[in-house]
Chain A
Amino acid sequence: MRFLPFRLKVLGAFLTLLTAVLVSSLVLVDRSQTRQTKTEIRRQLEVARNVFTSLLRRRDLELNRSLSLLAKDHAFKQALATENMDTIVSTLQSLKSRVMADAIWITDDEGEVKESTLEEPFEARLSDLPIVESALDEHPASAVLRLAGVPYQLTAVPVLAPDVIGVLIAGFKINDAVALEIKTITRSEVSFENDGKIFASTLSDEAHKKALESDLASISDTDPTVIRIGTRRNLVLRAPVAQGVAAYLERSWDEAIEPLEKLRRLVFFVGLVGFLLTALVGLFVAGSVTAPVAELVAATKKLSEGDLDTAVDIRQNDELGQLGKAFNDMAGGLREKERFRSVLNKAVSKEIAEELLKKGMIELGGEERRVTVLFSDIRSFTTLSENLSPQELITQLNAYFKRMGAAIQRERGVIDKYIGDAIMALWGAPVSAPDDAVRAQRAALAMFAELDRLNDTRRDASLPPLKIGVGLNAGTAVAGNLGSESRASYTVIGDAVNLASRVEGLTKHYGAGIIVTASVREESSGADFLYRSLDLVRVKGKKKPIEVFELLGENAPPPDWLGDYEAAVAAYRAGDFTGARTGFGALADRNRNDPAVALYLERLQGLPGKADASWNPAHTMTEK
Chain B
Amino acid sequence: MRNILLLSAVSAALAASSGLAPRPATIEATVLDQRGSPVEGAVVFAISGAVESPPAKTVEMTMKGMEFDPAFSSVSVGDSVSFPNQDSTHHHVYSFSKTKKFDSRLYKDGAPKVVEFDKPGLVTVGCKIHDWMKGTILVTPSALRAVTGKDGKAELRMQAGPSVKLGVYHPRLRGKPEKHDQEITLKDGKGAAAWKLPLKKESSGGKRPHKVYY
Contacts and interface: CB of A to CB of B under 8 A. Distances in A.
A140 B208 contact: yes
Interface in B71-106: 94, 96-97, 101
A134 B200 CA distance: 13
A162 B211 contact: no
A142 B210 CA distance: 8
B150 to A, nearest CB: 27
A546 interface: no
B214 A139 contact: no
A64 B134 contact: no
Interface stretch (A74-82, A217-225, A396-404): A74-82
A494 interface: no
Contacts of B214: 53, 56, 142-144, 153, 241-242
Q: Which of B124, B131, B213 has the most CB of A within 10 A?
A: B213
B209 interface: yes
Contacts of B211: 131, 134, 139-142
A182 to B, nearest CB: 15
Given A72-B131, A81-B96, A163 B124 contact: yes
A242 B213 contact: yes
Contact of B124 (A56, A145, A161): A161
A161 B212 CA distance: 23
Contacts of B101: 81
A72 B126 CA distance: 12
Contacts of B213: 130-131, 141-145, 242
A162 B208 contact: no
Contacts of A161: 94, 96, 124, 126
Q: How large is the interface on B (under 10, 10 to 19, 20 to 34, 35 or more residues)?
A: 20 to 34
A162 B126 CA distance: 5
Contact of B212 (A60, A81, A145): A60
Given A77-B96, A81-B96, A161-B124, A141 B210 contact: yes
B96 A139 contact: no
B133 interface: yes
A138 interface: yes
Given A72-B131, A162-B126, A162-B131, A64 B210 contact: yes
B96 A165 contact: yes
A160 interface: yes
Nearest to B176: A110
Contacts of B94: 161
B122 to A, nearest CB: 9
B208 A138 contact: yes
B157 interface: no
A160 B132 CA distance: 9
Nearest to B129: A74
Contacts of B125: 162
Nearest to A53: B214
Contacts of B128: 74
Contacts of A140: 208, 210-211
**A contact face: mostly helix, strand, loop, or mixed:** mixed
Contacts of B97: 163
Interface in A66-94: 72, 74, 77-78, 81-82
Interface string A134-162: 10011111111100000001000000111
Nearest to A245: B214
B86 to A, nearest CB: 19
Nearest to A68: B210
Contacts of A82: 96
Interface string B169-193: 0000000000000000000000000
Nearest to A135: B211
A352 to B, nearest CB: 116
Nearest to B123: A163
Contacts of B209: 139
Contacts of A131: 211, 213
A160 B134 CA distance: 10
B132 A162 contact: yes
A134 B212 CA distance: 10
Contacts of B200: 137
Interface in B132-156: 132-134
Contacts of A139: 208-211
A162 B133 contact: yes
Nearest to B98: A81
A78 B96 CA distance: 7
A238 to B, nearest CB: 14
Nearest to B127: A162
A145 B212 CA distance: 12
* Among B127, B128, B209, B214, residue most surrounded by chain A Cβ atoms (within 10 Å): B214
Nearest to A81: B96
Contact of B134 (A81, A137, A163, A242): A163
Contacts of B127: 162
A206 to B, nearest CB: 28
A72 B133 CA distance: 13
Contacts of B126: 160-163
Contacts of A130: 213
Nearest to B132: A162
Nearest to A242: B214
Nearest to A82: B96
Contacts of A57: 212
Nearest to A240: B214
Given A74-B128, A78-B96, A81-B96, A162 B134 contact: yes
Interface in A170-208: none
A53 B213 CA distance: 12
A492 to B, nearest CB: 120
Nearest to B213: A143
Nearest to B130: A162
Contacts of B208: 138-140
Contacts of B124: 161-163
A287 B188 CA distance: 127
Contacts of B132: 162
Nearest to A153: B214
Interface centre among A72, A81, A82 (most CB of B within 10 A): A81
Interface of A: 53, 56-57, 60, 64, 72, 74, 77-78, 81-82, 130-131, 134, 137-145, 153, 160-163, 165, 241-242
Q: 8 shortest A-B CB distances, which residue pairs?
A: A143-B213, A81-B96, A141-B211, A162-B126, A162-B134, A163-B124, A140-B210, A142-B212
10 contacts: A53-B214, A131-B211, A137-B200, A142-B210, A142-B212, A144-B213, A161-B124, A161-B126, A162-B125, A165-B96
Interface of B: 94, 96-97, 101, 124-128, 131-134, 200, 208-214
Given A72-B131, A141-B212, A163-B126, 20 more contacts: A57-B212, A74-B128, A77-B96, A78-B96, A81-B96, A81-B101, A131-B211, A140-B210, A140-B211, A143-B212, A144-B214, A153-B214, A160-B131, A161-B94, A162-B126, A162-B127, A163-B97, A163-B124, A165-B96, A241-B214
